[in-house]
Chains A and B, each alone.
Chain A
Amino acid sequence: MSGVWVYVESRDGKISTIAREAIGAARMVADELVEDVIGLVFGEDVHGVADAAFDLGCDEVIGADDATLKDGRVEAIGPLVVALAREHEPDVIIAGASTLGRDLTSWVAADLDTGLVSDCIALEVDGETIKATRPVYAGKLLSTVFVKEGAQVISLRSRAFAQAESTGGSGTADWVDPVLEEDDIPSKVIGFEEKGGGVSLTDASIIVSGGRGVGGPEGFEPVRELAKVLGAAVGASRAAVDAGWIPYEHQVGQTGKTVSPDLYIACGISGAIQHQAGMRTSKVIVAINKDPEAPIFKLAQYGIVGDLFQVLPALNEAFSERLG
């Protein structure tokens, strides 16, 4: 058994941000274990992705270029990873905890009859074992988790690990055939609608979020304007989503997305424990709220007690001035 495998997720020939983070984490783990990083590049027209994987520090790449792999169906990709893992017996299989990465790691661990540690925020190598830190109980507690024996399958929370950087490395991928033909794959993707504009919440380094205090759908305008100036994503509390002011895909919190940006600006969000569960790992938290007793101020580094409809335009102006 040897090697640290990393699933290099891509879409339309472009490596995803979370895959860069996964390669970075795999490199760190492999260096400690004194092993190689082997990138898995599956999709259609992915030769460029394989080159990019070498450049980001993969020692080897196993690639598969086939139309059955282009939609990111776990029913197509899972069996290929499993077949290759049975043949090569890697020590570690790492993937980002994207929607595909979550499904893929679950699939692979089930078929290899091994342990899976999901949504990790830190990894530490102890002998040959990788001890992972992951939040549990809605982020109120932390747990140290590891796979006791066999291949260690690990998924990584978005933005918890530094992205791999260009090394100038290159190489020739080992191209393999998929294990399934289209007729063998039960699920068929019959439509895809790309997310309309705006920065993705889980990838964002800055998030401007609105809650009950924005007062209505039009109350998100100053939130969006500030987000635009900062190149930030727009978030929301459950209260704002449930009120129908903004779609669910913006919800941050226990039943929404878990985010950890460098900067989280909470506007008119009281900071219920369920909201905190989704954003407490943000590096710097700014709270803007009329109520000085709002729980969000207990979590924030900086706070402004005031009306967000006055504070946000002022911030917008101050940022615009600084950013030119």
Chain B
Amino acid sequence: MKVVVCVKQTPSTTADFNVENGVVSWDDPGGKPNIVNPWDEYAVEEAIRLKENHGASDAIALSMGGASSAEALKTCLAMGCTEAILVNDEAFTGSDSLGTARVLAAAINKVGDVQVALFGKQAIDGDSGQTVVQVARKLAWTPLTFVSAIKEIGGGSITVERLLDEGKEIVKAPLPVVLGTVKELNEPRYPSFMGIRKASRATIPEWTAADLEIDGAYGSEASKVDWSTVYALPPREGEVEIIDAGSASENAEILVEKLFAEKVI
């Protein structure tokens, strides 16, 4: 049984953004502008645990992106993934979530014998969370999203706990499945020193469109969605009003007055 985890390289969580003519660029004061999408770390950790504790033969990290995404894949290798594959082609640029889903589904099919494909809940750049279910549709596998625990896996099926708006659901489905994960699932490990050394020497294979049997359209031409207009958030108006009248109870009374006047109580 192989396990695949799909990861995306995203801007760092502390990056400063700049938008000019709809083109977004960023830099990070900490000097590391790109990271593994934080939501994906839980999926990577779970993929490694499925290998360590549940007899998966491989935990393969897969990323669709430009050459720099190899860095994100090296982080996955350093954490303990057994293999990493970069899916990279000029022609993929500008794909919408459905085009991306077609490419990722083709790559998962090419890996072959995959029983579980793991994803993070969403990526912190596009923040859409659409790809998980759409990859499942393209593979015709069961999607199980918002997974907060894997209760049981084996005998051709999986039982998971899902963290839904209304509560926790336990659901069982036959393998193969596509899993969307949430933070409660686990605590991602830090890459080990040995892992980092090994990963730094790894050559990451690249698959292009020609290597894959992609069923349907991808790339910017085929995109059904236009998201070309991007702009900075208008700054919050006004400055903070610090309430400093004296004692805690005096301050509290003034604040309560103001909040009633704002009609938010």
Contacts and interface: CB of A to CB of B under 8 A. Distances in A.
Q: Which of B159, B233, B240 has the most CB of A within 10 A?
A: B240
Nearest to B258: A302
B255 interface: yes
B229 A311 contact: no
A88 interface: no
Interface in B214-228: 216, 223-227
Contact of A109 (B13, B130, B243, B264): B130
A2 interface: no
Interface string B125-137: 1111111111001
Interface string A179-219: 00000001111111111000010100110000000000000
A211 B89 CA distance: 44
Contacts of B128: 116, 118-119
A318 B232 contact: no
A143 B182 CA distance: 25
A159 B225 CA distance: 24
A260 interface: no
Chain A contact residues: helix, strand, loop or mixed: mixed
Please classify how large the interface on chain A is, using the bins under 10, 10 to 19, 20 to 34, 35 or more: 35 or more
B242 A190 contact: no
B44 to A, nearest CB: 14
Given A137-B11, A141-B233, A192-B167, A115 B225 contact: yes
B98 A318 contact: no
B241 interface: yes
A304 B255 contact: yes
A284 B17 contact: no
Interface string B8-44: 0001011101010000101000000000001100000
Contact of B97 (A116, A149, A191, A299): A116
A90 to B, nearest CB: 16
A310 B248 contact: yes
A72 B145 CA distance: 13
A249 interface: yes
Contacts of A303: 240-243
B200 interface: no
Contact of A110 (B134, B159, B265): B134
Contacts of A139: 127, 233
B240 A300 contact: yes
B157 to A, nearest CB: 9
Contact of A74 (B26, B125, B133, B255): B133
Contacts of B39: 255
B264 A262 contact: yes
Contact of B133 (A110, A292, A314): A110
Q: Which of A113, A114, A191 has the most CB of B within 10 A?
A: A191
Contact of A189 (B166, B169, B262): B169
In the A-B complex, the 7 residue pairs with the closest CB atoms: A115-B224, A191-B170, A106-B133, A314-B252, A144-B229, A115-B225, A110-B137
Interface of B: 11, 13-15, 17, 19, 24, 26, 38-39, 96-98, 101, 124-134, 137-138, 142-146, 159, 162-174, 182-184, 216, 223-227, 229-233, 236, 238, 240-244, 247-249, 251-253, 255-256, 258-260, 262, 264-265
Interface of A: 11, 71-75, 98-100, 102-103, 105-107, 109-111, 113-119, 134-150, 186-195, 200, 202, 205-206, 230, 248-249, 251, 254-256, 262-263, 273-274, 280, 283-284, 286-287, 292, 297-306, 310-311, 313-315, 317-319, 322-323
